[in-house]
Homo-oligomer: A and B are copies of this chain.
């Protein structure tokens, strides 16, 4: 259980293999997904009804649930469940709201003023997966920043359950977000419908949300063949826990298992400053794992997870930066000494009282994060993901006189005479 490596003993090649995740495992499904996309593009709603029957095993007579229907479904929730969703809603709203900032105007030269203004992306599509674990939390994580950004149209797709509906949690979140309808469409067909539009589903400018390999492949194809953008490529979820002697092995084990239960392809990595700590954690894993309802899934994920023993927290952070984890837990009282050296990570959980689960649901941060080492160049979803920053510039007559001669020289230098002339017609009058 939990293969263990010693950092100092690893060659560069071994290290590279260890931090490598397969980013394109789903390439063999490309043709299947392309066919689904083509069918939706050509047949619209009719294709979506057919796919619901074929893939979700349910015959639906309408492709969406409206506000009244959602309100009815949501009545099944218990009061404490509503409260929990509301607490999550408030925390996520409060943190994301702080991301919305007005920017200052900058006078770069006398008479030359530049600035940026935010504009919401007009139409966004949110994909909320169904399947083994229904995820109302994902709906909150995508819907709240979309609302804060001020997106005019929010299209929501989620696969229908066996009863042709969505569950009560999803329905209640739709109420909290004041969403007009939820479209009963799942899988690659949902992505295609939002990218191309159908009779019932509005074509959107950007598509957000996690999903299985079909959803992910569809998003990648849409991104490279249309002007519809996507939030980011999504791979299996992962956590990296850095722990020293101030950590609690029972907590570490619980955090590794929370990651492992997501799916058999999830990865949970422990980077510990001693071999003893790894042994103690394995002891706790053996104790906690068997009693989990999803023990079988978690056990398989733990099988291809591993531990690395390092000599110091600095060495741990070196490894972590090479791995570039989606979730990084600093299970140490000494976290303040190493946060400055974090280079690559999606979201970071500081100290022994901050399990990843709080960020998954309710601390306020977003749980839509870059996996598979995408954290080297991508950020998680935020209000930024739902807006464009448009640049503006204004020149006075003084401004064009000041900057004009330099622009003329630069235009000449690039051999672009009409660029020069656009200045000259103004300055020579």
Interface residues of A (CB under 8 A from B): 23-24, 80-81, 83-85, 87-88, 90-91, 94-95, 98-99, 101, 103-104, 106, 108-109, 112, 114, 116-117, 119, 121-122, 132-137, 169, 205-206, 220, 223-229, 233, 250-251, 254-255, 257-258, 260-262, 288, 292-294, 298, 339, 342-366, 372-380, 382, 384, 388-397, 399-400, 403-407, 409-411, 413-423, 425-426
Q: Give bound CA distance, A254 to B116, whole Å.
A: 26
Q: A95-B114, A112-B364 are in contact. Are A257 and B390 (CB under 8 A)?
A: no
Number of copies: 2
Nearest B residue to A398 via CB reads B353
Q: A288-B421, A407-B362 are in contact. Are A393 and B349 (CB under 8 A)?
A: yes
18 more CB-based (< 8 A) A-B contacts, given A133-B416, A357-B407, A357-B411: A91-B403, A95-B114, A99-B103, A112-B358, A114-B363, A119-B342, A205-B376, A229-B378, A258-B422, A261-B416, A262-B416, A292-B418, A292-B421, A348-B390, A349-B393, A354-B393, A361-B407, A375-B390
Q: Report yes or no: A357 in contact with B422, Cβ–Cβ below 8 A.
A: yes
Residues on the B chain within 8 Å of A354, using CB: 393-395, 399-400
Nearest B residue to A373 via CB reads B227
Q: Tell me the minimal C-beta distance from A402 to chain B in angstroms.
A: 9
**What are some 30 contacts across the A-B interface (CB < 8 A)?**
A80-B409, A81-B413, A98-B106, A119-B342, A132-B415, A133-B414, A134-B415, A136-B413, A169-B414, A220-B224, A224-B224, A227-B376, A254-B422, A261-B416, A262-B416, A294-B416, A294-B418, A339-B392, A344-B388, A347-B392, A354-B395, A354-B400, A356-B422, A357-B422, A358-B395, A359-B391, A360-B411, A363-B403, A364-B393, A376-B388
